[in-house]
Structure formats: structure tokens, C-alpha cells
Amino acid sequence: MSLQDQFVQAQADSKNLPERPDNMTLLKIYGLYKQAANGDAVGERPGFTDMVGRAKFDAWDGLKGTSNEAAMQQYVDLIEELKDA
């Protein structure tokens, strides 16, 4: 199975985890997904009144410079780890 196929499968698996991950883990999942799918963060950081948007942007922006393939692999690994928890 190619990395792209594993990534697509992990996306499906992420919707059926045995328990909901904590917020920090959810932000990590989000950041890895965005980095894998879109590359480095673009646009302006949301303002202080949009705390959720700001946290999501920061999670994505924190992965700046990570290759799409590396982000995909980390995403797949994290979802596998959460499935087994």
C-alpha cells in the first residue's frame, strides 16, 4: 500500500477512533493533515477573538518546512497509535 493510500485510509480511520483524542492531539492531527495536504501554512494568523482558528493555524504553522511525505507518515503513525489505544 502506498503512502498516499495509507494516508487516505488513516483519514477514514480518524473518524472511527475508539475514543475522542484530547484537544492537543486533535490540533496535532489537524496540523499534520493540513501540512500533508497543502504544504506550509499560508495566509494571516487569525486574530485573538478567533481562538480556535488561531490554535489550528499555529498547529499547522508549527510544521513549516516539513515535507508532505513526512507529514503524511506522521499522520498515519499517529492515527495508528490512537486506534490501538
Task: Quickly list H helices, the chain.
Answer: 3-14, 23-38, 51-61, 68-83
pLDDT for 25 equals: 97
Other Cβ atoms within 10 Å of 61 Cβ, number: 16
19 domain residue, yes or no: no
Number of structural domains found in the chain: 1
Read off the pTM: 0.94
What confidence tens digit (pLDDT) does each residue in 8-49 have? 999 999 999 999 999 999 999 999 999 999 999 999 999 999
Q: Which domain holds residue 10?
A: 3-14+24-83
Please report, for the domain that includes residue 31, its CATH number.
Answer: 1.20.80.10
